[in-house]
């Protein structure tokens, strides 16, 4: 059978490949520490679980959902007002089955073959993969240490910007751990207006900012709602990654376009999952803040330990990840990860899997308590992977 040529645009999925190798080593008796995938080890709040269970006991909940419940969209609007100080109306929001799916479908709604979109380098793979899925071409713009791993739109070729349909930003940034500044967001909005670009902001980690003020929303900046949308996720703040609960929020015409496309693909989100989302959005936020502090403790433990074995202190201002530069004698991040798995029993993600400028780095996920992270770094040092 001849499969679609669009599959040729994708290599092997890095997380699946690493997981297969980890399982093979475990089958041979190797004790492994997996710091590659960002699945929180914290528990979801009890009131969120209870809302899902209660809804699942109602037989009516097992029918097609067909639409987002009005109570859910109202809960999201209230949350944006309460948490971010942003006024959002129901026509500016819709539920999607996780940001990864949402990003893929949004690209299908926005792009035609031959179009281009601007994506950060390094970036989470779906940003570029979604563009390719739509038959369009991703154009990378750099996220480098010299600019604090932040978008520096002044360096983007104006002709390239004029030709692109949209610009992806993702802050706090996976994988590089940077947190946006007010000045940067204002520059992005002005740049989008000047070049008739839609801004697509991934706001998955708004509640995991380690230093200074809590994270916010792109839409709080003047003019943002005119030029952009953002994906807001419950996954990391409320530890519900498997439930796939994210929202597209922002310009009503863009939300309507995605809603129209998604209506051809599914019949809406399972009602008990929607009720769980309502519970998360309307419930107490103190546990979210407490969890943020626990992530900061993990960040500090990992970064301190890496410094102690001679690594350069990583960039890690936000997200549940740490972006670490390899010691100077290593240049191939994929080979480094393979060697680290085999010799230290520690699994991390190669920087090259996040884009060309990711080479020379690896990403650690903060999915263990501080002592577990220190032990993992001790393994790394003992196996000869210090600086």
The domains of the chain, with CATH numbers, are: 5-43+288-382 (3.90.1150.10), 46-282 (3.40.640.10)
Distance CA 262, CA 258 (A): 6
Res 134: pLDDT: 95
pLDDT at 213 over 90: no
Res 177: pLDDT: 95
Q: Provide the H-helix boundaries in the chain.
A: 14-27, 46-56, 70-79, 98-110, 125-133, 158-163, 182-195, 224-227, 235-238, 252-262, 271-282, 286-308, 333-344, 370-382
Res 141: pLDDT: 96
Res 139: pLDDT: 98
Q: Is 189 exposed, middle or buried (0-12, 13-18, 19+ CB in 10 A)?
A: buried
Give the pLDDT mean for 67-81: 97
- Rg of the chain, C-alpha, whole Å: 21
Name the pTM for this structure.
Answer: 0.94
pLDDT at 12 over 80: no
């Amino acid at each position: 059978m001849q499969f679609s040529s669009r599959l040729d645009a994708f290599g092997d999925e890095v997380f699946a490949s690493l997981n297969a190798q980890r399982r093979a080593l475990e089958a041979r008796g190797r004790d492994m520490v997996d710091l590659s995938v960002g699945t929180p080890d914290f528990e979801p709040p009890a009131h969120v679980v209870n809302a899902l269970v209660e809804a699942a006991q109602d037989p009516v909940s097992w029918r097609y959902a067909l639409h987002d419940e009005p109570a859910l969209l109202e809960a999201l609007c209230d949350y944006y007002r309460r948490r971010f100080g942003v006024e959002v109306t129901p026509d500016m929001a819709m539920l999607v089955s996780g940001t990864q799916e949402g990003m893929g479908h949004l690209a299908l709604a926005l792009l035609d073959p031959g179009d281009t979109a601007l994506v950060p380098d390094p970036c989470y793979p779906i940003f570029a993969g979604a563009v390719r899925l739509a038959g369009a071409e991703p154009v990378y713009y750099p996220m480098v240490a010299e600019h604090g791993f932040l978008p520096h739109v002044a360096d983007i070729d104006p002709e390239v910007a004029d030709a692109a349909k949209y610009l992806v930003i993702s802050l706090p940034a996976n994988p590089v751990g940077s947190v946006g500044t007010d000045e940067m967001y204002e520059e992005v909005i002005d740049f989008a207006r000047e070049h008739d670009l839609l801004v697509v902001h991934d706001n998955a980690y708004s509640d995991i900012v380690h230093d200074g003020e809590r994270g916010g929303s792109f839409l709080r900046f003047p003019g943002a709602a005119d030029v952009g949308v953002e994906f807001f996720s419950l996954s990391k703040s409320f530890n519900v990654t498997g439930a796939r609960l994210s929202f597209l929020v922002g310009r009503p015409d863009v939300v309507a376009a995605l809603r129209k496309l998604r209506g051809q693909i599914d019949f809406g989100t399972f009602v008990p999952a929607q009720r769980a989302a309502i519970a998360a959005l309307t419930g107490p936020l103190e546990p979210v803040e407490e969890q943020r502090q626990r992530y900061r403790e993990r960040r500090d433990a990992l970064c301190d330990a890496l410094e102690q074995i001679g690594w350069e202190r990583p960039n890690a201002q936000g997200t549940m990840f740490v972006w670490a530069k390899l010691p100077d004698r290593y240049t191939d991040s994929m080979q480094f990860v393979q060697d680290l798995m085999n010799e230290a029993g520690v699994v991390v993600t190669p920087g090259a899997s996040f884009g060309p400028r990711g080479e020379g780095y690896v990403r650690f996920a903060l999915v263990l308590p501080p002592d577990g992270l220190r032990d993992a770094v001790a393994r790394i040092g003992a196996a000869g992977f210090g600086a």
